[in-house]
């Protein structure tokens, strides 16, 4: 499956960061045994992501300008991760994969 490039940015260190996708995923409620509480999750390319695993970009200190349009991020590896825009009205997220 070929993913659509959302945007490419040059980081402060001179590297390139590519964002793919922009898929809308519905939020579901379930019991997150990792934290022992109920939490919201969504599926993105076959992987379950819990919202509690995401760092909120607005409160995690100074964030780069290219990350300010997103509500949160979670790393999958040293080189990749997922960023989300949360749609509270429709109980959904727009999820993007990023790769360095």
E strands, the chain, in order? 5-10, 16-26, 28-32, 37-44, 47-50, 55-56, 72-75, 80-87, 92-99
Residue 61 has pLDDT above 70, yes or no: no
| Domain assignments of the chain as residue spans, ordered by start | 5-99
Residue range 37-53: average pLDDT?
A: 92
Phi, psi of 13 (to 5 degrees): -85, 0
Residue range 2-7: average pLDDT?
A: 85
pTM for the full model? Answer: 0.86
């Amino acid at each position: 499956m070929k993913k659509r490039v959302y945007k490419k940015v040059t980081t402060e260190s001179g590297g390139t960061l590519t964002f793919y996708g922009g898929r809308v995923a519905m939020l579901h409620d379930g019991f997150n045994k990792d934290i022992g509480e109920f939490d919201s999750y969504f599926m993105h390319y076959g992987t379950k992501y819990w919202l509690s695993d995401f760092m909120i970009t607005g409160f995690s200190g100074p964030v780069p300008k290219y990350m300010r349009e997103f509500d949160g991020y979670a790393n999958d590896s040293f080189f990749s991760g997922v960023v989300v825009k949360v749609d509270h009205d429709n109980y959904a997220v727009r999820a993007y994969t990023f790769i360095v």
